């Protein structure tokens, strides 16, 4: 018998970790962005997931922290970086980021998930390892998925005539207890 479970901002963590690139990379901050509105719907048959659907409100992404750079990331810089992220993602035209699994297979330490990711209206295959860890008070699931912005038609944000830019590859990190 199949059952549905929902994971969202009240029961899990979803973050996007960026890097910096370019000749002036040491000047930039490695950012962590987190959406305030997102939802993962998981269909479970017995003790194994059979489908996963993720929806993220792209306009709810906010820069929550930054490391590196010459000075600590200030609140005004966080606000500017958040606005730049929204502009890069074209959130007015593309209000949601979505993932839909096509298959989920058990592995030694979790599951291999294959599916499609849609960002900025572009859909691409996206496969990842969903790690399962027996923990108290409940088992934990975690994932780290590298995503290349240019694969989805996103031009990584840059400054100083391109000598400082957000790295093309970002990492989506999610954790939740079941």
Q: Which helix (H) or strand (E) holds 61?
A: strand 61-68
Alpha helix segments (H runs only) across the chain: 75-89
- Residue 160 confidence (pLDDT): 62
- Residue 17 confidence (pLDDT): 95
CB-facing half-sphere around the CA of 22: CA atoms within 13 A: 21
**Number of compact structural domains in the chain:** 1
- Residue 137 confidence (pLDDT): 66
Range of the domain at 111: 2-177
Tokens 């990711």 sit on residue: 117
Tally helices (H) and strands (E) across the chain: 1, 14
Q: What would the pLDDT profile of 40-69 be if each residue is shown by its tens digit?
A: 999 988 878 899 999 999 999 999 999 988
- Residue 21 confidence (pLDDT): 82
Q: Which helix (H) or strand (E) holds 136?
A: none
By three-state DSSP, how is residue 69 classified? coil
- Residue 163 confidence (pLDDT): 60
Q: What would the pLDDT profile of 4-50 be if each residue is shown by its tens digit?
A: 889 999 889 999 999 888 777 777 788 999 999 999 999 988 878 89
Q: What would the pLDDT profile of 75-115 be if each residue is shown by its tens digit?
A: 988 998 999 999 999 999 999 999 999 999 999 999 999 99
- Residue 26 confidence (pLDDT): 74
pLDDT classification of 73: cutoffs 50, 70, 90? confident
- Residue 167 confidence (pLDDT): 87
Tokens 């979505």 sit on residue: 98
Give the whole-angstrom CA distance, residue 147 versus residue 171: 6
Average pLDDT, integer, range 151-173: 82
Contact 51, 43 (CB under 8 A): yes
Q: Residue 150 sits in a domain of what CATH number?
A: 2.40.128.110
- Residue 68 confidence (pLDDT): 86
- Residue 161 confidence (pLDDT): 56
Alpha helix segments (H runs only) across 1-142: 75-89
- Residue 143 confidence (pLDDT): 93
Flag whether pLDDT at 130 surpasses 70. Answer: yes
Give the whole-angstrom CA distance, residue 146 versus residue 94: 21
């Amino acid at each position: 018998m199949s059952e549905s479970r929902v994971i969202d901002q009240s029961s899990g963590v979803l973050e996007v970790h960026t890097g910096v690139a370019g000749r002036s990379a040491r000047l930039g901050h490695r950012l962590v962005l987190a959406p305030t509105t997102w939802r993962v719907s998981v269909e479970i048959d017995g003790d194994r997931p059979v489908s996963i659907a993720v929806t993220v409100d792209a306009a709810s992404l906010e820069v929550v922290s930054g490391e590196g750079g010459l000075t600590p990331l200030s609140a005004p810089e966080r606000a500017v970086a958040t606005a730049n992220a929204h502009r890069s993602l074209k959130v007015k035209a593309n209000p949601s980021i979505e993932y839909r699994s096509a298959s989920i297979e058990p592995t030694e330490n979790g599951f291999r998930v294959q599916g499609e990711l849609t960002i900025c209206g572009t859909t691409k295959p996206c496969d990842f390892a969903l790690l399962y860890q027996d923990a108290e008070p409940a088992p934990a699931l975690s994932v780290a998925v590298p995503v290349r912005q240019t694969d989805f038609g996103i031009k990584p944000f840059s400054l100083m005539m391109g000598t400082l830019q957000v790295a093309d590859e970002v990492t989506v990190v999610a954790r939740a207890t079941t």
